[in-house]
Amino acid sequence: MAVSSLEYSSQFDHTPFYCEENVYFLCKKLCANGVADADGSDLYVVFISNEQKQAYFSASKRADGVILWDYHAVCIQRKRGGDSPCLVWDLDSSLPFPSPLASYVSETIRPSFQLFSEYQRCFRIVHAPIFLRSFASDRRHMKDPAGNWIAEPPSYEPIVAEDKTVHNLNEYIEIGTENISTNVGAELINDVSNKKLGVVMNENQLEEFFSQVSR
């Protein structure tokens, strides 16, 4: 019997408003169950935001029409070999899970209205093997000035990096146009594979980048 997108996505840990932790454990599970390479080498974590921390998205489970988030994080899978499309794994999307990258971009990223330049989304692409070793969050960003939770946290312990760093989420979500790479090429692809914080690009470069990643 075929498994629906909703049934499939329900197999993954998901805590509302903690997309960075959701994508962390999603990558781990894809590696563990054989859907992705065991070392995660065919997976990329993508943080989406802008200087204003006001990024528009469509096709969200949490809203009809367009939703505004300060940032979002998804996983993109680029399988080596063959002609399989790049897949976007987004636990907050109402689109099929996973969705081909081209469909995800057209349905979620590209709005039907014109955005002012300061609200254009930027994409920080981080290779999953590096992300899984380096990312950390003690959830401080989800507390108000009085120390109360803005949204209920996951029940498991906070994620700590291999080097014992306890919080560096801010480094991943500080994304602006000044960080955008000038062109997509071999150097940029190499940087994604070697830099802790990956590279930043605009939405016009996103599909081009994944089309050039070695098959």
List residues with catalytic annotation.
19, 72, 90
Sheet of strand 87-89: strand arrangement? 99-100, 87-89, 72-77, 43-49, 122-127, 199-202
Per the CB < 8 A criterion, the answer to whether 18 and 153 are in contact is: yes
DSSP string, 115-166: PPGGG--EEEEEEHHHHHHH--B--GGGB-TTS-BSSPPPSSPPB--TT---
CA angle (111, 117, 123) in 5-degree steps: 70
Phi, psi values for residue 170, rounded to 5°: -55, -30
Q: Distance between CA 29 and CA 148 in Å, rounded?
A: 31
